[in-house]
Amino acid sequence: MVNHCSKVAIEQLLSNGLLFSDGKRIGFVHQSFYDYFLVEKMIQQIFEGNSIISILGSPSKQTPSKRYQLQMLLENLLDFDIDDFVDVGIELIHSVNIRFYMKYVFLEVLGQAESINSKVEVFLQEYINSEYWRNHLLDAVFINHPIFIKFLIREGYINTWLDCEQDRELALLLLRSVNSDLPYEVASLLYPLAFKNPELDNKIYNVLCWNIADDSDEMFDFRLEILKFRPQLWNAYISWERLAKDAPSRALCLIDLIVKNVNNQAIENRQDLDDKAIKILAEIAKDRPYQVWKDFMLYIAETTKNTTSIYDKKIDFWISKQYMGQLYGRAYVEMVKASGKELIKIDAKNLLKSCEKYYDYSSLIINEILLCLMESLPVDCSDYAISWLIDNPHTRFFNYTGDSDEYLYTAKKVIEKHSKTCSDEVFESLEHSLYYYHEEDELGIAKRRFEFNRENRIEQNKLIVHWPYWGEVQNYLIPALDQDRISRKTSELERILNRKFNGQHFRHKRNNVTGGVVGSTIGSKAEKISDKQWLKIIEKKDYQKEKWALKDGPILESSPWQFSRDIIRVGEKDPNRIANLALKFPKDIDNHYISAVLDIIGKKELDKDMNKNGDWKPVNLHLAQRLYKKWVNNEDINVAASFCRGIRERAGELWDKEILNEISNIAMNHPNPEQGEFNVVSSEDKEGNTINSLFTNSMNCVRGCATEAIASLLWEDKDRYDYFKDAVDSIVNDKNLAVNMSAIECIIPIMNFDKEQAVKWFFQLANKDLRIAAHPYAYNLFYHLYNDYSRTIKELVLEMYNSEFEDVAKVGANHIANMYVLYGSFGDILFKNIIKSKEQKEGIVKVACDLIGYQEHHEKCKKIIVHFLDEEKDDDLTFSYSQLLYKEKLNINEDEEFILKLVTSKSTRRMVRRFVYFINENDVPIIIFKEVIFGMCQNIIQNSQKEVKDVGSELYGIAPELSKLIAFLYDRTQDDFEVNQRCLDMWDEMFENRIGTMRELTSTIMDM
């Protein structure tokens, strides 16, 4: 390239750092400089009449870097002469010697055009009708490009496609891509299709701008019209905060439309309006006060007329409460308040005149709004505000629907403000009204109080109540009066009421629910409490579960349950202290304390981070046995379970015969669990049908806990078998399946010293219910017994495999695969084309994937997996298959053919990503995997064009992963011409078959 440059030019380029020289060669310091000069040369060749085909060279030379240079060339031609650009593009498209992904560059650059002429239009008209090129044009040129969509509209293509059901989705996609650029055109084209079919209307609505502020006026009007006609479309999310800032008038219009046209139940499910958005909407109301006051206030008044009870369902939509499903009603009310306050600033008297028609509506919501306005009135309207308030005090004093939890709060604020500036005459009327105020239910409350106390006296019950029936309103509102103007009589009443209601509950307030962590009133002080004080706490029997809610902390509770948790916390650190203290506990204490002590006894060791000094010791065995014997006959569920778990944890110690007998007694005779009942019920398995449900209940019932204790004791000392043989037999024959399930834990250690009896019990349980045979701990028993009882074991496995319980069938399938691998059994079931359930397939494949890493089982496992790769098409076992791609399981050299089949049969996102990790994990040249990579890509190209574009498919989004894989292979094999060309061929096919998005593929190539 520099051969044609003068020496002066070369020296200038060298001195400016654009070229470098080592004395023998001259080169560019960066690829971009080389590309620039090369493109300049290519443009010159085009203008000299050379063919673009000859300039690009043969397909083998059409590399990613050449593609980039072609892109620069076409971009320059587009700027210089669009006609030449089109001519070059057509020449590229027609040539059989140009790779497809090079041809595609022309379409990508064409899509960047800011204007089009007649020559471009002729090209578009010809190729949009080409079955081969149409989709490529749509992807690269039309979608997201307004100028080209305008062409389709102008030429009638969009209208034609909209009228054709087969092409309608395409037309809607194209219009959606330019909805904010061409809102008028989009609305005009969609309007004739609307209002005919609910499903089509939903699709049409989704074409409109996501940001409503981007709508044209015509599109917004169309949006409102279709929303009125199809209220169900309101489930679409609205960014209120953004809309209110960008298009306040539209936000106002939309919220008005929602409140007036959508039923309250539908709005209840909307979560797109928050407090921040409401504040912004209130600001909009201030800017348009006349409109909001006129329209919104009237609608609230008519909708809530004659609502005098907070339990009236008509005000549920509008009322403020602790937990609100939606905020639309409150937003509407707050906007009316904001507009009213603004109108007060403009002309208070005129606003008050407009309020008069609402005074007799008997609406709690209207009363809230009017109270708010009275508080906001200027001081020259104080007489009006106070007079209005005391004109109907039983109604107007109370704001039941506002934000404050205290219903009299707003009236109090009105009095505080206006009692200072109202006239003497009005102040006296206010004072008189408060002094002689009587609540409407005053007489009824007094009667109920007197009757309740009289009945308790007759029954000699000491409970006397002092429900206040007069004075609460005065006690709350009189302090709000201007203290400089208050009379001596009212002042004296204020002092009397202060003494009367000091610290008492205020009736006129909202009762909110308080939630949080429930803790003990002792809390962190538990460690500091003396033994003597603990005994007093434990001996107390009249706790009423008193609770105190702290504002910023937990809910504190005084109860044996909470105190027992404190004991456990203290006992974990010093178990012998609590154990010695427990000796002094009376036998009839609350069972929570007994259970806590037994839990402490069962603790064998302390966490290392807690036992920093290393001086922690468990409860002394002698002391533990004394305490166990103290409460040995207690049948409380928690006490018995704690006793059994403690013995289980310390099974290696020398327990007295009395303790062992009690374990047997509990296992045989404790009433928990009752027949057919479960202690633990899952929401997903209410009937308790699954293995997991039985297993969970076996651990959480008392007889099951005793069984676990027996199992641990037998593991530690087989000589204890005589103590427990009858108990184990009872457990095996128990009428509750959960207890039967726990028997497996005893059978396993018994296999070591009384195999014949253990086998008998095991098969008895298996025949009773196959779920027991599927116990997690029973799995290895099948192989322990296989040599001596192979026929019976295989029959049992077949029964499990064909079980109606899916989880049992899966365990049976595990055994089918396992026994084939170990003993060669069940080959007919595995490899015959018999229909298998999803669970059966998963069970078989999982075992094969788990065992394939063992050399002696490797080939058999591969055979199973290959069979299911060929057979299984619909059920997704990709997770199990992807677990194969570890160097511990597969050998690159020996298993190349198997790996190829695996990744090409199951080319999903998970598999591809796992394969990339597999390559990195093995740290070998990627060229070793070339056939696997090409096979995987070819499989996707041939069979999965639809799936890679389906968002719900496992193959969706796989194209970038595959493309990166090819790019990696291409980059690492620059010296391997054949592999390089196959990489280019693969890219070509991916572009041509539209695998993934063109943007993703182009990005991968451009990043190389």
pLDDT score, position 16: 53
pLDDT score, position 123: 95
Compute the mean pLDDT over every residue in the chain, rounded to the nearest whole number.
87
More confident residue, 455 or 189: 189
Among 210, 226, 291, smallest CA distance to 252 is for 291
Share of the chain above pLDDT 90, in %: 61
Residues in the chain: 1008
Q: What is the pLDDT of residues 191-233, one digit of tens each?
A: 999 999 999 999 999 999 999 999 999 999 999 999 889 888 8
pLDDT score, position 31: 47
Mean pLDDT value across residues 820-830: 96
Q: What are the tokens at 564?
A: 């027992």
pLDDT score, position 463: 67
Residue 810 CB partners (closer than 8 Å, separation 6+): 839, 840, 842, 843
**Exposed, middle or buried, 276 (CB in 10 Å: 0-12/13-18/19+)?**
exposed
Residue type, 737: L
pLDDT at 802 over 70: yes
pLDDT score, position 512: 66
Q: What are the tokens at 186?
A: 């989009």
Mean pLDDT value across residues 99-125: 94
Mean pLDDT value across residues 576-596: 93
**Exposed, middle or buried, 828 (CB in 10 Å: 0-12/13-18/19+)?**
exposed
Q: What is the pLDDT of residues 15-28, one digit of tens each?
A: 555 555 555 555 54
Q: What is the pLDDT of residues 17-63, one digit of tens each?
A: 555 555 555 554 444 545 565 777 888 888 788 899 999 999 999 98
3-class SS at 737? Answer: helix
Sign of CA pseudo-dihedral 996, 997, 998, 1001: negative
Q: What is the pLDDT of residues 741-778, one digit of tens each?
A: 999 999 999 999 999 999 999 999 999 999 999 999 99
pLDDT score, position 164: 93
Q: How confident is the model at residue 524 (pLDDT cuts 50, 70, 90)?
A: confident
What are the CA-CA distances from residue 761 to residues 102, 703, 729, 733, 735 (Å)?
74, 18, 8, 9, 15
pLDDT score, position 11: 60
pLDDT at 586 over 70: yes
Rounded to whole angstroms, how far apart are CA atoms 751 and 732? Answer: 15
Place of tokens 């790019």: 967
Q: What is the pLDDT of residues 353-394, one digit of tens each?
A: 999 999 989 999 999 999 999 999 999 999 999 999 999 999
Q: What is the pLDDT of residues 87-103, one digit of tens each?
A: 999 999 999 999 999 99
Mean pLDDT value across residues 455-483: 82
Q: Cα-flanking dihedrals φ and ψ of residue 265, to 5°?
A: -65, -40
pLDDT at 796 over 60: yes
Q: How confident is the model at residue 916 (pLDDT cuts 50, 70, 90)?
A: confident
Tell how strand 26-28 and strand 19-21 pair up. Answer: antiparallel
What are the CA-CA distances from residue 589 to residues 404, 560, 595, 597 (Å)?
46, 9, 11, 12
pLDDT score, position 997: 54
Give the DSSP H or E segment for 395: helix 393-396
pLDDT score, position 953: 46
pLDDT score, position 921: 82
Mean pLDDT value across residues 862-875: 79
Share of the chain above pLDDT 70, in %: 87
Q: What is the pLDDT of residues 951-988, one digit of tens each?
A: 334 455 667 777 778 888 888 888 899 999 999 998 88
Global pTM? 0.69
pLDDT score, position 951: 38
pLDDT score, position 554: 62
Helices (H), 518-636: 531-539, 560-573, 575-582, 591-601, 621-630
Residue type, 215: D
Residue 83 CB partners (closer than 8 Å, separation 6+): 117, 119
Can you give the C-alpha Rg of the chain in angstroms?
Answer: 42
Q: How confident is the model at residue 989 (pLDDT cuts 50, 70, 90)?
A: confident
pLDDT score, position 712: 97
Beta-bridge partners for 557: 520, 547
